[in-house]
Amino acid sequence: MNRNSNAYTFVFAIIIVTIIAGLLAFAATSLKPLQDANVKAEKMQNILGTIGVTGISREEAQGAFDQYIKEQLALTQEGTVDKNTDAFKIGLKNEIKKSVKNQRYPLYVAEKDGETFYIVPLYGSGLWDAIWGYIALASDKNTIVGANFDHKGETPGLGAEITTDWFQAQFKGKKILDESNNFVSVTAVKGGAKSGDTHGVDAISGGTITSNGVSNMIEERLSHYLPYFKNN
């Protein structure tokens, strides 16, 4: 074949593209188990972080998770436990697309220093894309002991501030029930929460929509756990 012809150029390009595509596919397939392991370890780290278990490496995550997490429950809308569903494998991104009746709500029951904690996974919408996280309740199923949040595409310096320590630390000690044990959740307040407000935290300046997204996410997700908390 004439190397200066268009046919040669096209054939050569097709061969190179095919080889590169094959190598990329091979690399992706080969690395997937490692990627899955890293995702699993990071999830464990985030769950444990809500109860103050921090500073553990990905290699240590499984051991620490097994040490502190005593139960992994998949709850139904009625608050019963679905023993046929693996709570850890529930992906909220797809789960929330189902009807409330058909959803399963993962709950992690942890023990640390003789105390019991309930860790609830969260998933919602920010300004630009999805936001998610975990929130841990004390044994009274009312007092927040820790929270962490993450996002896919919020604005740096604004909505992305939900990942910072100062924002997440505000939730510690807040209550999700009022004095009459009615569910009121916790809200990020534009302009700042009033002193002594046990149900409010300071919203992010310039990140109102993302702050509202966090508030809505917490309220919507926690509301589904009330039947289980009341029955247990």
Q: What is the 3-state secondary structure (H, E, C) of 116-128?
A: EEEEEEEEEECCC
Terminal C-alpha separation, the chain: 78
Judging by DSSP bridges, how do beta strands 187-189 and 200-202 pair with one another?
Answer: parallel
Domain coordinates in residue numbering, the chain: 69-231
User: What's the whole-model pTM score?
Assistant: 0.86
Cross-strand pairs, 109: 71, 118
Per-residue pLDDT of 127-157, as tens digits, reads 999 999 999 999 999 999 999 999 999 999 9
Residue 43, CB half-sphere, CA atoms under 13 Å: how many?
Answer: 18
pLDDT band at residue 182, thresholds of 50, 70 and 90? very high
Is residue 129 within 8 Å of 210, Cβ to Cβ?
no
